Structure 1
Amino acid sequence: MHARAVAVTTTALLGVALLTPLSHAGTPLSGDDGPSVVAHRGASGYAPENTLAAVDKAAEMGIRWVENDVQRTRDGELVVLHDDSLRRTTDVEEVFPDRSPWKVKDFTAAEIARLDAGSWFGSEYAGARVPTLEQYVDRVEHNHQKLLLELKNPQLYPGIEQQTLKVLANEGWLDRRHVAGRLVVQSFSADSVRTVHELKPAVKTGFLGTPRVSDLPEYAEFTDQINPSYGSLSMSYVSSVHAFTGPHGRPMEVLTWTVDDADTARRVAGYDVDGIITNRPDVVRDAVGEDEDSAGR
């Protein structure tokens, strides 16, 4: 209804003109050697999830794509964390014992920066921190990797779509090179994905879930990927998604999650999925035979 006005306003706020032609976006995620392998929250089977250590571990394995989750602090900083509570993956209960239920949105960025986000996983990761989105994308850039960014719980953080795009723009991630093959923004919220598409049409987007085939024409207007859990997947469903053309003029893609064993990886690869999201990217890569340089070609 008022999407055009919102898009114009947001473009001015971002200070980034929508100069990237849509034909340059939507480069296929998978290569000729099989589905792309995406490190879920980084290589989270081997390092504490969503930390810089997990990004680096994926890079050591030669994994080009990493996935993360973005939430917002009380004072408006974007941080990379899966849960809306800090309790499971930090020592917040010890540092702030009187702040139950320890929701991310109730803590400032400075308070979260004090927390140990690694010891829960193993003593060798003691002192790892919850990264800000700026810190995270800088590390991904340093490692020459690619980013599947999830907007987590967007209903808790009004305007997070616009704010995330602003951070990405400030960090150099909305130029032609990045949007052409190094960035996808996804969410379980169709409204959030649609908002990202309206605000920055050049950015490739993904919807997390398994919409009915009859609803796919509507999704094809604003999302490039349909990304379901592997348990809800079938070869016919993947074929149905591939039959639709997404907003950037290419067949819609399917990435599936979270696959951590070789047998399941081979099964979903047989469905012709475009990507597999996994905590154990080395296991999946070895099973499906993806070349480490094929992702995003």
Structure 2
Amino acid sequence: MHARAVAATTTALLGTAFFLLPPSDARADEDGGRPTVVAHRGASAYAPENTLAAVDKAAELGTTWVENDVQRTRDGELVVLHDDSLRRTTDVEQVFPGRAPWKVKDFTAAEIARLDAGGWFGAAYAGARVPTLQQYVRRVERHDQKLLLEIKNPELYPGIERQTLKLLSNEGWLDRRHLADRLVVQSFSADCVRTVHHLKPGVTTGFLGTPPVSDLAVYAAFADQVNPSYGSLSRGYVSAVHAFTGPHGRPLEVFTWTVDDAETARLVAGYGVDGVITNKPDVVRGALPAV
């Protein structure tokens, strides 16, 4: 079945309430048509990843979109951290030396709040903390930025999709204005993305990966974006993705990651991608020609 037929069937099942929310248009980049530039884990080449300082740095660089990673503590708090272990980006080994392998899910929110999440990056950031998702979205809101939120390791955290959406709703991120063009929820797990779509059909969703073209019709029923690593991309693949219509009645988008140099930025822009996820948003933006 063609993706448009799949999307139409899905829409019919969801009912007319779906259309009360405007579709996201992440392509409408602030730079007038160039690929959207997304600060990966914040401006993580210049500040410790996934911290509030990285959000602030992205804002300082004039980057509207930031990406982050969400996981859950032992006592049910949503926190912003990439790895399922605290070891790489905090001082957890020193603070809790007997708790290997230092998995996020094995620590309470209060314990994680004690950790230094910036000292590993540089002395200037010593004392930075692992933010809760609530703290993170409030900082993004303060800067009037937009959020590409990745649910990490959902298989470790049953129900995290519903919990994440509830927090976003409580913080005002599921209103018409945010859903229109300020929020995308993505995951490497197709089941996770499908769950988010079914729970809140108005949310723009992205699947992280490079599905075979023959499978794109399936993804187009619940994902608005297909977001591959740049090394797996080609002009033909981007064109193939764009040929399918997603659940909001728009062509599927492609946001590629993680591009940190000008040459690669120009290459993927030439492929026709809609967004570039980067640790160095200033470098990528400077490399992309005005349209």
TM-score, structure 1 normalization: 0.90
Q: Percent identity?
A: 77
Q: Give distance in 1, aligned partners of 2:28 and 2:90.
A: 34
1:250 counterpart residue number: 250
Deviation of the 1:145 alpha carbon: 0.1
Instruction: Evaluate the alpha carbon distance shift between residue 23 and residue 167 of structure 1 in structure 2; reply closer, same or farther with a 3 A threshold.
Output: closer
1:22 shift after superposition: 5.5
CA contact (8 A) 2:26 2:36 kept: no
Matched, 1:282 2:261: no
Partner of 1:118: 118
Distance of 1:109 and 1:75 partners within structure 2: 7
Deviation at 1:27, TM superposition (A): 1.7
Equivalent residue runs for 1:220-259 within 5 Å: 220-259=220-259
Q: CA deviation at 1:289?
A: 3.7
| Letter aligned with residue 36 of structure 2 | S
- Residue type of the partner of 1:47? A
1:24 aligns with 2:22: yes
Distance, in Å, in 1 between the alignment partners of 2:186 and 2:25 is 16
| Structure 1 unaligned regions, length at least 5 | 1-17, 292-297
Matches of 1:290 and 1:193, distance apart in 2 = 33
RMSD of aligned alpha carbons: 1.3
Q: Decide whether the 8 Å contact of 1:20 with 1:176 is kept in 2.
A: no
**Native 8 Å contact 1:23 1:248 kept in 2:** no
In structure 1, what is the equivalent of residue 34 of structure 2?
A: 34
Distance in 1, matches of 2:260 and 2:290, equals 15
> Displacement of 1:30 after TM fit?
4.1
Q: Which runs of 5+ in 2 are unaligned?
A: 1-15
Contact 1:204–1:224, Cα closer than 8 Å, also in 2: yes
Do the aligned residues in 1 keep the contact of 2:21 with 2:179 (CA within 8 Å)? Answer: no
Partner in structure 1 of residue 167 of structure 2:
167
Aligned to 2:208: 208
Matches within 5 A, 1:89-238: 89-238=89-238
Flag the 1:20–1:61 CA change in 2: closer, same or farther, 3 A.
farther
Say whether the 8 Å CA contact 1:23–1:249 is kept in structure 2.
no
Which residue is equivalent to 2:43? 43
Q: Distance in 1 between matches of 2:63 and 2:146?
A: 9
| Count of residue pairs brought into register by the alignment | 274
Shift of 1:23: 5.7
Corresponding residue number in structure 2 for 1:73 = 73
Deviation string, structure 1 residues 193-224 (Cα, Å, up to 9, x no partner)? 00000000000000000000010111100000
Over 3 Å counting, the alpha-carbon distance change for 1:177 and 1:23 in structure 2 is closer
How much has 1:20 moved relative to structure 2? 6.5
1:285 CA displacement: 0.4
Which residue identity does 1:183 align to in structure 2? L
| Cα-to-partner distance string for 1:41-62 (whole Å, 9 max, x where unaligned) | 0000000000000000000000
Q: Deviation at 1:29?
A: 2.9
**TM-score, normalised with respect to structure 2:** 0.92
